Amino acid sequence: MTTGTDRPTDAEATPGGSAAPGGNSSAYGESLADVYDSLYPAAGPAIDSMVGFLQKLRPAPASLLELGVGTGRLAIPLAGSGYRVHGVDASPAMLAKLHENDSTGRVTTSVGDFSALAVEERYDLVLTALNTFFMLPTQEQQISCLRGIHDALADDGVAVFETYNPQVYHRLTEATTRVGHLAPDALLLDTIQVNQSLQSVLVVHTIMSAGGLRKVPEVSRYAWPAEFDVMARLAGLRVTDRWADWDRSPVTSHSEKHVYVVERQNV
């Protein structure tokens, strides 16, 4: 077991994003909605870099669908940059917090299971950020999500996925603990266990504050890059680029994250 005192980076802090489909993810979002903005601040260089990355792919006022939109950490700055943003999340509490944060009311939302995505509109951009894709717990659900994204994309649209580098967790051979600071009177303790054969990561978030102690479990299933490529092809998509971050830095064995750019195969 290892411990740390500094709050981890986004790629390290938690395998999952804001909320994945189904009862477990909805419970995850409901449990963390009140502290999510402390976990993932909605401003700073990382946000600016992400907006710039998407602007080069499809500039505003393109239409954008964000899956696992959470409290609007990305959606609100994107809407402020001129994108027409719709967000899907499994957690009503997360979406309620998003609308509190969205003072202009520019982001539209819906509660939904994005492993079985069904949308009426087709979008120029589909964004699945902060490891949210890996919160789909099976390969079948991940392929189903990719098929839904295929159908949601405009003919010349692109999908963007931000995931952790599987190697970050696959190399953990024993339980690992990381400690981060949420607030002057609150700590976050993450206990991480990896099942390498299942490509599965279990994180138990323990929040310790003046109000007491709260535990929130989270499971993610990581896919290696070659597997992601095959799943995308099965869904009628193809990976066109893979970067180590929003700054388009090249992927190395030490990269903490992967940013995939995916298009429909018939483009």
Mean pLDDT per 10-residue interval, the chain, length 267 residues: 34 46 52 66 82 97 96 95 96 94 95 89 96 94 97 97 94 89 84 95 89 87 97 98 97 94 87
**pLDDT at residue 210 in the model:** 83
Distances 261 to 59, 105, 163, 178 between C-alpha atoms, Å: 15, 28, 12, 31
Using an 8 Å Cβ cutoff, are 203 and 14 in contact? yes
**pLDDT at residue 20 in the model:** 44
**pLDDT at residue 129 in the model:** 95
Instruction: Locate 100 and state its tokens.
Output: 């509190």
Fold adopted by 17-164+223-264: Rossmann fold (3.40.50)
Question: Where in the chain are the domains?
Answer: 17-164+223-264, 168-219
Q: What is the CATH number of domain 168-219?
A: 2.20.25
Distance from chain centroid for Cα 13: 12
**pLDDT at residue 19 in the model:** 45
- H helices of the chain, in order, are 10-13, 22-32, 36-39, 45-57, 75-80, 92-101, 139-152, 166-170, 225-234
**pLDDT at residue 2 in the model:** 32
What is the C-alpha radius of gyration for the chain, rounded to an integer number of angstroms? 17
Q: For the chain, how are helix, strand and coil distributed in percent, rounded to 5?
A: 35, 30, 35
Using an 8 Å Cβ cutoff, are 70 and 35 in contact? no
**pLDDT at residue 10 in the model:** 41
